[in-house]
Amino acid sequence: MTQATGHRGLLVAAVVAGVALLVAGTTTVVLVDRNNSTPVNNAFGAISCTEPSLPGTTVTVRVGDSGAMMMAQAPIRATLVASPTSVPAGRVSFVVPNTGALVHELVVLPLPADGPGTRTTGTDGKIDESASRGEASRSCASGTGDGIAPGSTGWTTITLGPGRYELMCDQPWHYAAGMFDVLTVT
């Protein structure tokens, strides 16, 4: 009897573990699907929001992609391109239109000593933002939020001294995928 009960207990444990795996698998699929498909920019390249009149020198930082790889968050052909790439010191207004299918953002950091793209990516796919000078990560609004939705624009105004800065996107794995550019302030 003891042995039979033990076997039944094992069977119950196996069934419970199986259900738990199923649930975990379903949750993962839902999460990945959500990351890949929401919010989707159905009209790649279309921008629905225009920034207001902003002070200082304007730098447009275009962010985009061609979607995300299945079962991973790494973006495909993610780009971050600033124009112009050199501005005078003082107030700089960054305008960030997102023409991709994924959420993006702009974080302004001092350029690393080893050059652009050399920051360490953590296990969460993000970099250390503690030296951030400012951020544009809201949809059709100024300042810091959860990211700029596909087809929208974010912006922010920062006072920058002379130096070199790295403009980057810190959505998970986007910096590692190449979303950075250099801004020289003279």
CA 40/CA 7 separation, integer angstroms = 50
Whether the upstream peptide bond of residue 84 has omega within 30° of 0, thus cis, is yes
- C-beta of 56: minimal distance to Cu ion in Å? 24
Using an 8 Å Cβ cutoff, are 105 and 78 in contact? no
- Residues in contact with Cu ion by CB under 5 A are 104, 169, 171, 174, 179
For residues 125 and 176, is the Cβ–Cβ distance under 8 A?
yes
Number of other residues whose CB lies within 10 A of the CB of residue 19: 10
Q: Nearest approach, Cβ of 145 to Cu ion (angstroms)?
A: 14
Nearest CB to Cu ion, comparing residues 92 and 101: 101
**Distance of closest approach, residue 113 Cβ to Cu ion, in angstroms:** 24
Please identify, using beta-carbon distances, which residue of 56 and 132 lies nearer to Cu ion: 132
